[in-house]
Amino acid sequence: MLKNLKLTLAVAALAGGVLAAQVPDARQIAQERASAELDAPRLALELGLTPGMTVGDVGSGFGAMTVVLGRWIGSGHVFATDITEHALRETRAYVKREGLTNVTVIEGAVDATNLPAACCDALFLRNVYHHVTAIQAFNKSLLASLKPGGRLAIIDAPPDKGSPLPAGVPANRGGHGVPSAVVIEELVAVGFTHVKTADHWPEGKDPSFLVLVRKP
């Protein structure tokens, strides 16, 4: 029973970073949208995105970045994935309210993105990676979801000293978070090429970092 409980908690925690149990209120939606509007152009620059490309928001949460990129990408396409029905429902509703027809919402899994093979020019995870439990399988799935030469950005933060590990994740995280060096090591191990690490991303949002890797 305890094992099942831990697995349930790990699955719930993975989706889009921190997901509230209740429907997000108007203030929360507005805050997330404002943050996404600010961060999307910076993220697109790091990923080498241009309008017309296809990008995957893995762990889309309530869908703010998905919607902003859906507008920005124009004739391109956005895939949004999450592993909780609540997050998927909120993202689908958000996309519908915005009248976007270039967004596809897909239910992901603990060990896979469930995206079509080689579908994306770029992928990104924001505050999601430190909750991943099936590290190697999930990272192989990220690699498979990218086109050759495609880029992956992991945006996360190092662990707070003394903070508890999320359920089911490896002890090398060192707490609630993940060191950028661990992210790089695990992604390179499945075939990615490390491109760069930004220790403070975006500027002024310490202690978040961005690890950028590329599929050969």
- Residue 177 Cα distances to 27, 73, 136, 164, angstroms: 26, 30, 18, 9
The three-class DSSP label of residue 63 is: coil
The pLDDT tens digits for 48-68 are 999 999 999 999 999 999 999
H/E element, 45: helix 26-47
Angle between helices 64-72 and 85-98 (to 10 degrees): 40
How far apart, in whole angstroms, are the C-alpha atoms of residue 126 and residue 208?
10
Render pLDDT for 19-40 as a digit per residue (tens, 0 to 9): 444 577 888 889 999 999 999 9
For residue 207, cis peptide bond before it (omega within 30 degrees of 0): yes
Sequence spans of domains, the chain: 51-214
The CATH number for 51-214, chosen from 2.102.10.10, 3.40.50.150, 3.40.1120.10, 3.40.50.11890, is: 3.40.50.150
Report the SS3 class of residue 49.
coil
Q: Assess whether pLDDT exceeds 50 at residue 186.
A: yes
